[in-house]
Amino acid sequence: MKLREYQRDALNGICEALRECDSTLLCLPTGTGKTVVFAQAAKIASKRVLIIAHRDELIEQGATKVHLITGERPEIEKAERYSNERSMFKSKCVVASVQTLNAKSGGARRVERFDPHEFSLLIIDEAHHAVATSYKNVIEHFQQNPSLKLIGVTATPDRTDEVAMKNVFESVAYEYSLRDAISDGWLVPVRSMPAHIRGLDLSSLRDVAGDFHQGELAGIMESEDTLHAVASETIARMGKRKVLIFAVSVEQSEKLAEILDRHIAGCARCVSGETPPEDRRQMLRDYDQGKFQVLVNCMVATEGFDQPGIGMVVIARPTKSRSLFAQMVGRGTRPLAGVVDGTPETPIERKVAIANSAKPDCIILDFKGNLGKHDLAGLPDILGGKMSPEVIARAKEHEDAAADDKSPIDVIALLELAEKEIEAEEKKRKDKDRRRLIKVKGIVDVEEIAAFSIYGMPKRIQPPFRSLPLSEGQRDVLRKQGVPFEHLDSWQQRALFKETVKRFKQNKCSFRQAKLLQRYGCSTDCSFAEARVIIDRLAANGWKATDEKKQNASRNDG
């Protein structure tokens, strides 16, 4: 199988990372072929490989792709199925569910059937779950082999417990963002369509592990008014698109499918963890074949659900979790089969092919209400990449402001607009600060000239040597004397301090006296007592300086 450029880069990144450390993380968005990359890593592994999936539903899907890429038919460890650990002819690859590996069989956990030293590589799919105890138990078992290498693969690395992820994986081998994949023409553009439901109040909900308390959220989303609002908005906006709706509870999914069917008979079905496996498989086949338009699911389609035809994803379960939001959006980002592989070789050609296909984009219908202190995850979060929180928050404001238009919103354009706005505001702020500093500098210059000229001292722009700053006691002396010094450099401050002390010892007039005498044109070269007499005369004369200046000049001549 020919790898795409980013897939080759990802594989090279894994190899380089594992030469330096024992564990690494691969981050690829849904629909970009992360299974292809880790299957290639399994193909070149020196010994056996164990691939761990988060749910039983992902086992068969992963095993099929690994077989296709490696040519090696993996053995499966799941429920009643066992890999041939006692056989001489063991497969190089084993695909297992984490639940099965932690289950007990004959008094021991099933993971203990495997000899860690036979394996050179452990691969964890949906690795954002790897911080859980069930995964840690499996990892610790295989790490009894000091030569073992560990690869985690995820579309959503930004969990709320990101610090815990770093305790499992020592490095990040390669990251490819959703925005990059769309820009390169591998995934379809996603467009936002926010819908505000009057009366939907999420402000009082409690937080649990970085998201809403699920029971409390379910109680709100199951209300009749909310259910009918979600159904009405979905019907009004879906057109002919294949629709996938995410619900927070089984009851919400069932009621919502029922209400949708009242609008358009036979248009909707619901699936949840309570749906029998065979019924679920048949329902998904019918959905894939277009036998009904809307699938309402309760946490079944968040991971490993591959239906390229989905043209609208409806978020009827508000969330604060960016990783969960990214998983839901990822169900609609795949282009239709055959659109981007083959003839289109450049990003422009692939984007044109997507635009001309039956699925030119995917709409994200995102229901919102009164949030209070909460901040919902949204498209700006997962398309914003490494943009600043300020840019993402501004883009969300623009998104909300455009919601009333009821037209699909280009969130990438909003992010770029927000970034330019904040850059312009920052430039304006810096310009204002620069002007303020120039003004302050002007004031400082005036203060410097005044302070030095009042003392009759020459002002030195460049000090002849480096001077230590004044002590707090020395600064207090200048403050008490009214000498301006706060904005001056250490040399200028020390020069003024020395002159102040010198004049005090010589019983010359104080700085305040000298400043007043200079204002009225009188000499400042006089004693403290003489300055007091002159100032008293000025005050008695109504602060008219003419006579005093003559007397002062005569005294100086004498």
Q: What is the pLDDT of residues 390-399, one digit of tens each?
A: 999 999 999 9
Please give the Cα distance from 432 to 361 (Å, whole number).
Answer: 43
Please give the Cα distance from 155 to 177 (Å, whole number).
Answer: 9
On whether the CB atoms of residues 236 and 264 are closer than 8 A, the answer is no
* Lowest-pLDDT choice from 88-102, 151-165, 274-288: 151-165
Is the pLDDT reported for residue 464 higher than 80? no
What confidence tier does 459 reach under pLDDT thresholds 50, 70, 90? low
Is the pLDDT reported for residue 441 higher than 70? no
Q: Which of 69-83, 92-106, 255-269, 383-397 has the highest mean pLDDT?
A: 255-269
DSSP code of 469? P
What confidence tier does 494 reach under pLDDT thresholds 50, 70, 90? confident
**Average confidence (pLDDT) over 348-353:** 95
**Average confidence (pLDDT) over 37-55:** 90
Sign of CA dihedral 529, 531, 532, 538: positive
**Average confidence (pLDDT) over 173-197:** 94
The better pLDDT of the pair 2, 225 is held by 225
Please indicate, yes or no, whether the overall pTM of this predicted structure exceeds 0.85: no
Average pLDDT of the chain is 87
Q: Fold for 5-176, please state it.
A: Rossmann fold (3.40.50)
Is the pLDDT reported for residue 363 higher than 90? yes
* Lowest-pLDDT choice from 161-175, 254-268, 451-465, 530-544: 451-465
**DSSP H stretches of helix in 455-521:** 472-481, 490-505, 511-519
Residue 198 buriedness (CB in 10 A; 0-12 / 13-18 / 19+): exposed
- % of the chain exceeding 70 in pLDDT: 91
* Lowest-pLDDT choice from 114-118, 128-132, 156-160, 187-191: 156-160
Residues of the chain with CATH 3.40.50.300: 5-176, 185-377
On whether the CB atoms of residues 128 and 160 are closer than 8 A, the answer is no
Chain-centroid distance of CA 341 in Å reads: 31
Q: What is residue 341's predicted lDDT score, i.e. its pLDDT?
A: 84
3-class secondary structure, 367: strand
Is the pLDDT reported for residue 533 higher than 70? yes
On whether the CB atoms of residues 67 and 73 are closer than 8 A, the answer is yes
124: closest CA among 138, 112, 141? Answer: 138
What confidence tier does 553 reach under pLDDT thresholds 50, 70, 90? very low
Is the pLDDT reported for residue 99 higher than 70? yes
What confidence tier does 128 reach under pLDDT thresholds 50, 70, 90? confident
Please give the Cα distance from 295 to 191 (Å, whole number).
Answer: 20
Is the pLDDT reported for residue 446 higher than 60? no
Q: Which of 101-110, 220-229, 480-489 has the highest mean pLDDT?
A: 220-229
DSSP code of 200? E
**Average confidence (pLDDT) over 321-347:** 90
What confidence tier does 404 reach under pLDDT thresholds 50, 70, 90? confident
Please give the Cα distance from 334 to 182 (Å, whole number).
Answer: 10
Is the pLDDT reported for residue 298 higher than 80? yes
Is the pLDDT reported for residue 547 higher than 70? no
CATH class (in words) of the domain with range 185-377: alpha beta
Helices 472-481 & 490-505 angle (0-180, nearest 10): 60
How many Cβ atoms sit within 10 Å of the Cβ of residue 455?
20
Q: What is residue 116's predicted lDDT score, i.e. its pLDDT?
A: 95
On whether the CB atoms of residues 272 and 299 are closer than 8 A, the answer is yes
Q: What is residue 383's predicted lDDT score, i.e. its pLDDT?
A: 94
Please give the Cα distance from 117 to 47 (Å, whole number).
Answer: 9
- How far from 408 is each of 193, 285, 316, 404, CA to CA, in Å? 5, 29, 17, 11
